Amino acid sequence: MDEVVNSSLKIVAGLPMYNEEETIGTVVTQVRDFVDHVICVDDGSSDSSARIAESCGAIVHRHRVNRGYGGALKTLFAKAREMEADCLVILDSDGQHEAADIPKLLEPILTDEADFVIGSRFIDGGGSEDMPAYRRLGIKVITAASNLSSDLDIQDTQSGFRAFSKVAIERLRFDSEGMELSLEMLEDAHEKDLKITEIPTMIRYDVPKGSNFTALSHGFTVLAWAMISLSQKKPLLVLGLPGFGLFAAGAAMALNAVNGISDSVDALVGPGLTAIWIGVLGLAMMATGLVLQSARNFIRHLLIKEFGLA
């Protein structure tokens, strides 16, 4: 184990792994220099990933069927709790992250400055040279929606390079089985007042499997999760604001149609009906936003005042 990392603590690395036989051997070997134990969760791989990881010194836990990235991380956290790990660092098995960055990620945890550290490619000193433009755009959109929903200010919500303190390992709970777990975990940490920080890291895209079009479907799933979360947390913003915009547009169209009434009454029917439809849709959205916001406030009030839950 590398001297940079505090040797009196049990540091565990967790690798979610799905058909990564080309890279897993190198990743496990490199990561072992910086931690006490490496756990790989083989997520129903059909190749030799599990055998290679084991022969390189990792503890391998197998899922009989593929559960997805979130499922693999849930197992990793359960194993870290069982092992009574003091720190858990998660990184991908495809070689995109630099094992040598592990001490940098652990430092804020060891100095008690953070419970949850993200290896970020979008802050000063971090980067990802060969990252496809569509991936960069997708991550920016997901990150904007997620920050709006959670009131956090995280630059890289999609990095799979993350480190957790003992408190975080014990307190974090999540439910998602897919890539959307990346956001659920952030929201859970924020709600539990865990300290989150970002550390600059490089993320490589010139790895054997590279980025593929599954990334696109993963991206849409994560974005959908972020939008649903946003509409649950800020219904007035998601429904009320566009609703007000539609209502105002409907009112403007109605005024315009009424101004032209002297030309011909028949000419009023088409634009008039359109204006009414748009206005009513806007009103319905505003009302739904208001009702959801009130219900949310009421439930929060109940939880805090009656049951003492924050």
Ligand X SMILES: Nc1nc2c(ncn2[C@@H]2O[C@H](COP(=O)(O)OP(=O)(O)OP(=O)(O)O)[C@@H](O)[C@H]2O)c(=O)[nH]1
Interface ranges with ligand X (CB under 6 A): 16-18, 20, 43, 66, 68-69, 72, 92-94, 96, 160, 211-212, 214-215
Kindly state whether residue 94 participates in binding Mg ion, applying the rule CB under 5 A: yes
Phi-psi map region of 134: left, alpha, beta (phi>0 left; psi -120 to 50 alpha): alpha
Contacts of 266 (CB under 8 A, 6+ apart): none
Considering CB distances under 5 to 8 angstroms, the limit depending on partner class, which of Mg ion, ligand X, none binds residue 16? ligand X
Q: Which is nearer to ligand X, 93 or 201 (CB)?
A: 93
- Which 3 state secondary structure label does DSSP give 197? strand
Among 86, 92, 101, 115, binds Mg ion (CB under 5 A): 92
Considering CB distances under 5 to 8 angstroms, the limit depending on partner class, which of ligand X, Mg ion, none binds residue 66? ligand X
Find the shortest distance in angstroms from Cβ 107 to ligand X.
Answer: 23
Find the shortest distance in angstroms from Cβ 92 to Mg ion.
Answer: 5
Binding marks (x or -) toward Mg ion, 52..91, rule CB under 5 A? ----------------------------------------
Q: Name the phi and psi angles at 74, rounded to 5.
A: -60, -45
Q: Which is nearer to Mg ion, 96 or 155 (CB)?
A: 96
Q: Which is nearer to Mg ion, 104 or 204 (CB)?
A: 204
Considering CB distances under 5 to 8 angstroms, the limit depending on partner class, which of ligand X, Mg ion, none binds residue 212? ligand X
Considering CB distances under 5 to 8 angstroms, the limit depending on partner class, which of ligand X, Mg ion, none binds residue 122? none
Find the shortest distance in angstroms from Cβ 43 to ligand X.
Answer: 4
Contacts of 209 (CB under 8 A, 6+ apart): 20, 22, 23, 94
Instruction: Give the closest residue to 32 by CA, choosing from 81, 83, 102, 87.
Output: 102
Find the shortest distance in angstroms from Cβ 96 to ligand X.
Answer: 6
- Which 3 state secondary structure label does DSSP give 245? helix
Kindly state whether residue 156 participates in binding Mg ion, applying the rule CB under 5 A: no
Find the shortest distance in angstroms from Cβ 217 to ligand X.
Answer: 10
Contact 200, 90 (CB under 8 A): no
Instruction: Give the closest residue to 252 by CA, choosing from 266, 281, 272.
Output: 272
Kindly state whether residue 20 participates in binding Mg ion, applying the rule CB under 5 A: no
Distance CA 109, CA 292 (A): 38
Find the shortest distance in angstroms from Cβ 161 to Mg ion.
Answer: 10
Half-sphere exposure of 259 (CA within 13 A, CB side): 6
Half-sphere exposure of 195 (CA within 13 A, CB side): 10
Q: Which is nearer to ligand X, 160 or 235 (CB)?
A: 160
- What would the two tokens of residue 302 be? 């109940």
Find the shortest distance in angstroms from Cβ 20 to ligand X.
Answer: 5
Sheet with 59-63, edge to edge strand ranges: 59-63, 37-43, 11-17, 87-90, 162-165, 116-120, 196-200
Considering CB distances under 5 to 8 angstroms, the limit depending on partner class, which of Mg ion, ligand X, none binds residue 174? none
Considering CB distances under 5 to 8 angstroms, the limit depending on partner class, which of Mg ion, ligand X, none binds residue 72? ligand X
**Helices and strands (DSSP H and E) totals, the chain:** 11, 7
Q: Which residues bind Mg ion (CB under 5 A)?
A: 92, 94, 96
